[in-house]
């Protein structure tokens, strides 16, 4: 929690969900019911979180999109073009 960045807060009725980005680039969600940290308040710019043992942390909502991570399931090289077949007749 100490190195995470607040990237979004979604509100629907009385429910709120904060989306944070860890230092390793992975994201996680915190609500008013999650443990050990829960979202206590959000004023449109700053979110306040409280831990199960009473520690309080505030995070400022960051502007802009988070830096994208490389998807390990996708190749990192661009696809190679395949030359067209020559001398082939269409079916």
DSSP character at residue 54? S
C-beta atoms surrounding 39 within 10 Å = 23
Rounded to the nearest 5 degrees, what angle is found at the Cα of 22, between the Cα atoms of 75 and 13? 110
Tens digit of each residue's pLDDT, the chain (91 residues): 788 999 999 999 889 999 999 999 999 999 999 999 999 999 999 999 999 999 999 999 997 655 555 555 655 555 566 666 666 565 5
8 token code pair: 């979004």
Q: Tell me, what's the pLDDT at 71? A: 56
Rounded to the nearest 5 degrees, what angle is found at the Cα of 14, between the Cα atoms of 10 and 17? 30
Q: Provide DSSP, 23-40.
A: TTS-EEEEESS-SSEEEE
pTM above 0.85, yes or no: no
């Amino acid at each position: 929690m100490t190195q995470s960045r607040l990237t979004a807060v979604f509100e629907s009725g009385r429910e709120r969900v904060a989306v944070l980005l860890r230092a390793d680039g992975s994201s996680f969600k915190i609500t008013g019911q999650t443990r050990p940290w829960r979202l206590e308040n959000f004023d449109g710019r700053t979110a306040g979180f409280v831990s199960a043992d009473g520690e309080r942390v505030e995070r400022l909502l960051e502007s802009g999109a988070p830096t994208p991570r490389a998807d390990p399931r996708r190749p990192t090289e661009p696809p190679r073009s395949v030359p067209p077949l020559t001398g082939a007749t269409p079916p």
